[in-house]
Amino acid sequence: MLQQFHLLKNSIFIAFLILLISCSPKIIDKTQENISSQITDSIGKPRVDSLITGVKILETKIAIPQISDTVWNENLQTVLIHKTGWEMSLPIIGLNTNETISFSFDDLEGDIKRYKYTILQCDANWQISLLQPSNYVEGFTEDYIEDYKISINTIQKYTHYNLVFPKETMKITKSGNYILKVYTNDANEPLIIKRFMMLEQVVNINGKIKDATLLNDKRFKQEVDFSITANNYIINNPSRNLSVKIYQNMRPDNAIFNLKPHLVIGNVLDYDYDEGNTFNGGNEFRNFDIKSLKYNSERIYRIEFEEGANHVYLHNDLARRFKVYKSEEDINGKRAIKADYIRDSETEADYTYVHFTLPYDVPTVEGIPYIYGALTNWEINDNTKMTYNYKRRAYEATVYVKQGYYNYQYILLKPNKEIDDTFIEGNHSDAENDYFIFVYYRPMGEMYDKLIGFRQLNSINDRN
């Protein structure tokens, strides 16, 4: 009888331990959602989600739809959005400040149209939020783009449209992710979608970039280690209610989504991982300068005027996969619209066809090369696809762009639709890259994600 009592006592104790372990809180919760490549067809027709009418979406590997920057009409070119006064900046401004965002585009049809725009809030994963526009916009919820100018003395005639917002008549009252949607008559048939962010900085982000911790990745990858200090701001259940995104050069295809804190100590959240927060170092971006169409800059082989249009032929590019890393200055995939010897680049800069050539002895079977960067709107479509010229034994492509200074790279789209950014360009942990950390928080009971923290790091200036 005594032996049976001891057995029963031990069984109860073991069951209690199992229950205690299963109910213990977890402070380590790591999730990485890699965004898969965005593929648009040559026509640019939207794939419509049942909850997001007329909005182009980008899917992660776990099928969370991401509203992406998209232009559906090929006559709408040089679509730019940035903080007013700084063309190279991100479209992110402080909530309840005097800062504004500048948005512009060219209509190559050259006539005058009545373009409308509206603003929609998104959650941390770039899905339309559950709030109604009246909950985050004070004033009108749509308006016309009234500022436009006709091009002057250009071969390509166009109308330049410009919008500065938020306005007094359309104030944004909540922080977070937003999209600007441009259309003519029907808001469900957008012509342009561009992302922007409203920030209320209430947390501090400290971080460093270093070579990857894992030995096999050390020569090729860069690790983004950082911590978030909440100060006096109360964050309840950060593993569930806090969401962190990391972008490399603001590329949409390789962003790290929903990274969870590795460790929580007091009001400090630590994100020091050995993997899960690493990116390919890649290589420096290539460039070409077409601010002038009257002389050949360093990367230009020749300039011609053919069939009523400007044509710029670049020198042949060479694959860099097996070449030694060489440090070169770049602007990390961006573009700067400017023309020399004129007063106003918005309306006096011309358009030109730019011809790219990438020699290859035989077509690669690993995938299809594409041109990639801000000049392609970070999109992969038929306009940026390279075709193989058997006679010249090279891949070729042509893009139509406005005068300025451009960065670009060659990426490989694999048969499984994954992007390989190292197959042609190579991969080096010494490469210079910008990293952008966004911190979102959804308090209990709220129906939207606040953007409470932002930090930009550089792999050279902020190297550990």
Strands (DSSP E) along 308-424, which ranges?
309-314, 335-337, 351-359, 368-372, 387-389, 394-402, 404-413, 419-420
The two structure tokens encoding residue 321: 């996969």
CATH of domain 33-199: 2.70.50
pLDDT at 65: 65
Task: Give the model's pLDDT for residue 15.
Answer: 47
Q: What's residue 434's pLDDT?
A: 98
Per run of 10 residues, the mean pLDDT along the chain (length 464 residues) is 45 44 36 33 31 35 70 96 96 98 98 98 95 96 97 98 97 98 95 98 98 96 97 91 96 91 93 94 98 95 96 98 95 98 96 98 97 94 95 98 98 96 98 98 94 98 93
Q: Where are the chain's structural domains? A: 33-199, 204-281+431-458, 286-420
Give dist(CA 317, CA 410) in Å, integer.
10
Fold of 204-281+431-458: Immunoglobulin-like (2.60.40)
Phi and psi torsions of 302, nearest 5°? -160, 160
92-94 and 192-199 beta bridge pairing: parallel
Q: What's the confidence (pLDDT) of residue 464?
A: 84
pLDDT score for 231: 87
Structure-token match 């927060």, residue found: 277
**Contacts within 8 Å (CB) and 24+ apart, 79-82:** 79/104, 79/105, 79/192, 79/194, 79/377, 80/104, 80/105, 80/337, 81/180, 81/194, 81/195, 81/196
Distance of CA 175 to the CA centre of its chain: 19
Sign of the CA dihedral 378, 384, 387, 389? negative
Pairing verdict, β 221-229 and 278-280: antiparallel
pLDDT of residue 275: 87
The domain defined by 286-420 carries CATH number 1.10.287: no
Considering the entire predicted model, what is its pTM?
0.85
Task: Tell me whether domains 204-281+431-458 and 286-420 share a fold.
Answer: yes
Produce one character per residue of 383-413: b if its CB has 16 or more CB atoms within 10 Å, e if not: bbebebeeeeebbebbbbbbbbbbbbbbbbb
